[in-house]
Amino acid sequence: MQLLEWVNPLLIGTAALYIASGVLYTFQRGRGASIALGAGWIANLAVFAVNALIVRDIPMGNMYQVQVVLALCFPPLLLMLTLRDRLGWTALYFAYGAALPLIGALFMDKQATWRRMPALQSPWFVPHVLSYMIAYALCAVAFIMLIRLWLGRTRRSEYRRAIYQILRIAFPFMTFGMLGGALWAEAAWGRYWSWDAKEVWSLITWGLYAIYFHTRKSPWHKWADLPHLLAFLALLTTFFLVNLLPKLGSLLHSYA
């Protein structure tokens, strides 16, 4: 069996393990949930390894490959938040969040022949992409929790504090990703900023999250959910729509 033929079964199995972990966390079966989450992460790592063997390079060059990396970020981030901030109770949101990009990856072109174009052959490639994936994973969990907060009436203050803590970690990674991208652009194209569609939407996303933080600390803190909602919608536009919709196409980021 060729390596490419292993990809979809691995994706399905990994997503199933993440979903099973989320269900077990929902029903407070912590031990089984943790085992399923760990097994899912190992399977996720196997998908990443297979992708690397197929392209014979770091597999972060197209939407399919990047979504596999995005899913990989969730379990380690949960572990870090559990140990540092005692946010282990958010585990089910990380488990479900990890499954979503893998489900999307199932329906995407695997592009087995992808190779890095000259502009991507830079030391900035991995830190730029990885910092954004860490930020996006955390932002996705924070948004899922925001939806849960809107639907429920209990533990509201606890949810709001957790969302804030999660986004506080996401924002520096997002900032580093944007600044690192600017330095990379200067090295690759001779200018820090080109007002490319992806650059513009990444700046809009960053600005809306900054507004969320300022709003949360202001007299209008009750309205902080609005910039949070708008920021995540801008994030989805940056990550998905700019790459997938021709009218929003990003010329300088067309390889993504």
For the chain, the structural domain boundaries read 1-110, 122-256
CA-based nearest residue to 82, from 93, 70, 97, 69: 93
pLDDT for 69 equals 97
User: What's the pLDDT tens digit per position in 165-196?
Assistant: 999 999 999 999 999 988 888 887 788 888 88
DSSP state of 247: G
pLDDT at 97: 97
For 111-117, what is the mean pLDDT? 68
**pLDDT for 27 beyond 70:** yes
What confidence score (pLDDT) does residue 137 get?
98
Per this entry, what is the length of the chain?
Answer: 256
Confidence of residue 248 (pLDDT cuts 50, 70, 90): low
pLDDT of 92 above 80 = yes
Q: Which of 21, 194, 45, 9 is nearest to 95 (CA)?
A: 21
Estimate the crossing angle of helix 30-55 against helix 4-26, to 10 degrees: 160
pLDDT greater than 80 at residue 249: no
Q: Residue 79 pLDDT > 70, yes or no?
A: yes
Judging by beta carbons within 10 Å of its beta carbon (0-12, 13-18, 19+), is residue 207 exposed, middle or buried?
middle
Can you read off the two tokens belonging to residue 231? 């920021």
Q: What is the mean pLDDT of residues 76-93?
A: 96
Question: Mean pLDDT, the chain, as a whole number?
Answer: 90
The top-scoring range by mean pLDDT among 54-68, 79-93, 101-115, 118-132 is 79-93
Q: Which two tokens stand for residue 69?
A: 């990396």
> Is the predicted pLDDT of residue 118 greater than 80, yes or no?
no
Q: What percent of the chain has pLDDT over 90?
A: 67
The answer to pTM > 0.85 is yes
Range of weakest confidence among 65-74, 76-85, 152-161: 152-161
User: Is the pLDDT reported for residue 242 higher than 70?
Assistant: yes
How deeply is 121 buried, as exposed, middle or buried, from its count of CB atoms within 10 A (0-12, 13-18, 19+)?
exposed
**229 Cβ neighbours under 8 A, 6+ residues apart:** 143, 146
Q: What is the pLDDT of residues 141-160, one digit of tens each?
A: 999 999 999 998 778 999 99
Asked if residue 47 lies in contact with residue 7, where contact means CB atoms within 8 angstroms, the answer is yes
Q: Are 131 and 169 in contact (CB under 8 A)?
A: no
Q: How many Å apart are CA 204 and CA 234, to the nearest integer? A: 7
H helix or E strand, kind and range, residue 205? helix 197-216
Q: Model confidence at 227, in pLDDT bands (50, 70, 90)?
A: very high
> Looking at residues 88-109, what average pLDDT do you find?
95
